[in-house]
Amino acid sequence: MGNPDGPGAQTDRFFHWLQSHAGVRHNLSVSGMVGVVRPPRPSRREIDRATTSTLRERLGELLGIDPSRIYLTHGATEGNALVLAYLARTGRRARGSPGRVRAWMPEYVPLWEAALASGFSAGPARGPAAVAVVSNPRNPEGGLWERREMEARTDGDRAVLIDETFREFTEAPSLAAPGHRGWWCTGTFTKAYGGDALRVGWIVSPPEEAERFRRWHTLLTDSVGPASLAGAIGCLEARDRLLGEARSRLDRYRPLLARHRPEAAGLAAPVFFDRTPGVDARRLAVRALRRSILVAPGVYFGDPGGVRICLTRPQFPADFAAYLRFRDDETGRRSDPRPVQTALRAPSLRPR
Ligand SMILES: Cc1ncc(COP(=O)(O)O)c(C=O)c1O
């Protein structure tokens, strides 16, 4: 994926695209549950009592990980940046250069660009590389790579940064749990928990790096404030309610999407990459705006062959129907729904 303007340019355009059109009627570009699921508000007393170690311990219990491998951050973005800067420095010291990064496009572009900004050079999709970066579940494709697949794909890579931002939309365990050598995982309260206002995330280091990374983390980050700590602890206490809501929403919308895109039947995250063979997907996204529909063009994920749509908002059924009508008009093809095998009754979408 080229970066003619330097690392960060594509990420900047991506966020500008999302923010500058956020007022559209049919917003299919919101990837988290903000405003849909509501984290509990901590009381004064809970804020006074919240500590870093309590949150690390609770996360440790949940993830099945020794808390000494868990580091709190202000979100997954910060976690990814810290890990990548650490790995780049380690590479420089040991071998004179950070080495190469690889990714599997389409990929969440800030992950890729943060690696370039840290000093890694762009490597081919085939390994081995100094670091592989991968969102899992995959953003924007929505699939989940199980442990075996991750091992096979990253075989030979010195380190792997696995961004598990969307993992809690699924029942899948964190790939950090068994402490795979070289595997780093990041997570966040900003997506499935709807905790945008909290700004809390975490990093899990591989066991062999826990001690050295602790110093790096302590040196470079501010600690998470008590109100955010208490909010995150509250999210874990209300986890069943919050994740139940987030997951059941995905369970309702997935079959609705899969009636038109059968490959979406196995989505693990509320994102989907809608490929548009023979059509300029960027132009499609620009034209969608004229009908007040916001999707994210694939160029922002290193793959110009489609657009990303998100399945998070309560308006998804109507928004998706509007998108389908628009897309059919643009491509001259009809999106006839197909029956899908599901225990859930999908809200009906009127075919045209
Ligand atoms: C794969 C991925 N990682 C990280 C983030 C950002 O997470 P945070 O808001 O916790 O920094 C996003 C946001 O959409 C994302 O999709």
CATH of 44-238, one of 3.40.640.10, 3.40.50.10740, 3.40.50.150, 3.40.1400.10: 3.40.640.10
C-alpha–C-alpha distance, residues 251 and 258, integer Å = 11
Average per-residue pLDDT for the chain: 93
Residue 352 pLDDT level (bands cut at 50, 70, 90): very low
187 ligand 1 Cβ < 6 A: no
Residue 31 pLDDT level (bands cut at 50, 70, 90): very high
60 ligand 1 Cβ < 6 A: no
140 ligand 1 Cβ < 6 A: no
301 ligand 1 Cβ < 6 A: no
Residue 1 pLDDT level (bands cut at 50, 70, 90): low
Are 206 and 180 in contact by the 8 Å Cβ rule? The answer is yes
Phi and psi angles of residue 178, each rounded to the nearest 5 degrees, phi first:
-75, -5
169 ligand 1 Cβ < 6 A: no
The average pLDDT across 321-338 equals 86
C-alpha–C-alpha distance, residues 313 and 11, integer Å = 23
What pLDDT is stored for residue 340 in this prediction?
53
Specify the pTM.
Answer: 0.94
The average pLDDT across 19-43 equals 94
Q: Report the nearest-CA residue for atom 14 of ligand 1.
A: 31
Q: How far is the CA of 234 from the centre of ligand 1 (A)?
A: 21
Mean pLDDT is lowest, of 43-57, 177-191, 318-332, 335-349, for: 335-349
9-33+241-331 and 44-238 share one fold: no
Residue 125 pLDDT level (bands cut at 50, 70, 90): confident
The domain locations on the chain are 9-33+241-331, 44-238
What pLDDT is stored for residue 337 in this prediction?
74
Q: How far is the CA of 110 from the centre of ligand 1 (A)?
A: 9
Instruction: Dump pLDDT digits (tens) for 173-224.
Output: 999 998 999 999 999 999 999 999 999 999 999 999 999 999 999 999 999 9
What pLDDT is stored for residue 126 in this prediction?
82
Residue 306 belongs to what H/E stretch?
A: strand 306-310
What pLDDT is stored for residue 348 in this prediction?
35
Mutate to test the pocket of ligand 1, among 14, 19, 188, 196 (most ligand atoms within 8 A of CB): 188
Mutate to test the pocket of ligand 1, among 161, 190, 301 (most ligand atoms within 8 A of CB): 190
What pLDDT is stored for residue 347 in this prediction?
35
Residue 4 pLDDT level (bands cut at 50, 70, 90): low
112 ligand 1 Cβ < 6 A: no
The distance from CA 21 to its chain's CA centroid, rounded to whole angstroms, is 21
Radius of gyration from C-alpha coordinates of the chain: 20
186 ligand 1 Cβ < 6 A: no
What pLDDT is stored for residue 351 in this prediction?
34
List the one residue out of 30, 86, 77 whose CA is nearest residue 206. 86
Residue 349 pLDDT level (bands cut at 50, 70, 90): very low
| Beta-carbon contacts of residue 282 (< 8 Å; ≥ 6 apart) | 297, 298, 299, 304
For residue 135, the ligand 1 atom closest to its alpha carbon is: 1
| Beta-carbon contacts of residue 196 (< 8 Å; ≥ 6 apart) | 32, 34, 190
Per-residue pLDDT at 18 exceeds 80: yes
C-alpha–C-alpha distance, residues 12 and 151, integer Å = 32
Instruction: Dump pLDDT digits (tens) for 135-160.
Output: 999 999 999 999 999 999 999 999 99
Question: Reading across the β-sheet that carries 306-310, which strands appear in turn?
Answer: 271-275, 306-310, 296-297
90 ligand 1 Cβ < 6 A: no
281 ligand 1 Cβ < 6 A: no
The distance from CA 207 to its chain's CA centroid, rounded to whole angstroms, is 24
Helical pair 316-331 and 281-290, crossing angle rounded to 10 deg: 120
Instruction: Dump pLDDT digits (tens) for 235-255.
Output: 999 999 999 999 999 999 999
Is 9-33+241-331 in CATH node 3.20.20.80? no
Compare 278 and 94 and report the one with higher pLDDT.
94
